[in-house]
Chain A
Amino acid sequence: GQSLEQPSEVTAVEGAIVQINCTYQTSGFYGLSWYQQHDGGAPTFLSYNALDGLEETGRFSSFLSRSDSYGYLLLQELQMKDSASYFCAVRRGSTLGRLYFGRGTQLTVWP
């Protein structure tokens, strides 16, 4: 089987930096994806890490350590619109759409 652990809630103020951690236990690990979801809408792809290290995309960065079965999503210069749920998801094979999701972290950004 597989399991993913991430905090259920995180709060921060505008302009701050927040880190959302994700630990996983799974067989056949291929990579770790991050998705954003606003108010139950369409999950939106943010990033994907297959190798150890940091991937940077604008204000968002994602990190993976395969040896520690650990990753995180780093959000910088927080804006109110970043308030959403953030999901880490394990990819177990070559098909990117075949994902195992965590329960999600609700991020609230205060003014």
Chain B
Amino acid sequence: NAGVMQNPRHLVRRRGQEARLRCSPMKGHSHVYWYRQLPEEGLKFMVYLQKENIIDESGMPKERFSAEFPKEGPSILRIQQVVRGDSAAYFCASSPPVLNTEAFFGQGTRLTVV
């Protein structure tokens, strides 16, 4: 049973380009969460999705960031017109639809904006 899979592991983008980060949750998991981590800091919640629904996006920047979790395929975190401040590690976590279980994290995507 594969864990949470994120790709790419490393992504370099020039300022103004778009970044697409993918997350395939663990088998049987229908809840996906995206977090951002800056160096020497904790993880900051961005968005919580279930299949085809955004449940909580209170941590998402109002502009340039969007997320989706389609019926088929991975969850996508999309950052348009990237800026240097977007450079960070982006982690995805997933959990099953059963309450009181832990969430499992992927290895993360390290985004560098040059």
B33, chain A: closest CB distance, angstroms: 4
State whether B48 touches A104 (Cβ < 8 A).
no
Q: Are A96 and B95 also in contact (CB < 8 A) when A40-B108, A43-B105 are?
A: yes
Chain B residues touching A, majority SS: strand
A-B contact count (CB 8 A): 67
Pick from B40, B42, B48, B102: contact of A101, CB under 8 Å: B42
B47, chain A: closest CB distance, angstroms: 10
Complex formed: what's the CA distance from A79 to B80 in Å?
44
State whether A100 touches B102 (Cβ < 8 A).
no
Q: Are A42 and B107 also in contact (CB < 8 A) when A94-B99, A96-B101, A97-B94 are?
A: yes
**Interface residue tally on B, bucketed by range:** 20 to 34
Complex formed: what's the CA distance from A102 to B41 in Å?
8
State whether B33 touches A98 (Cβ < 8 A).
yes
Interface residues of B (CB under 8 A from A): 3-4, 31, 33, 35, 37, 40-45, 48, 55-56, 89, 91, 93-95, 99-108, 110
Q: Which 10 A-B pairs have the closest CB atoms?
A: A97-B103, A101-B42, A97-B33, A45-B102, A101-B43, A42-B105, A43-B105, A97-B95, A103-B42, A42-B107
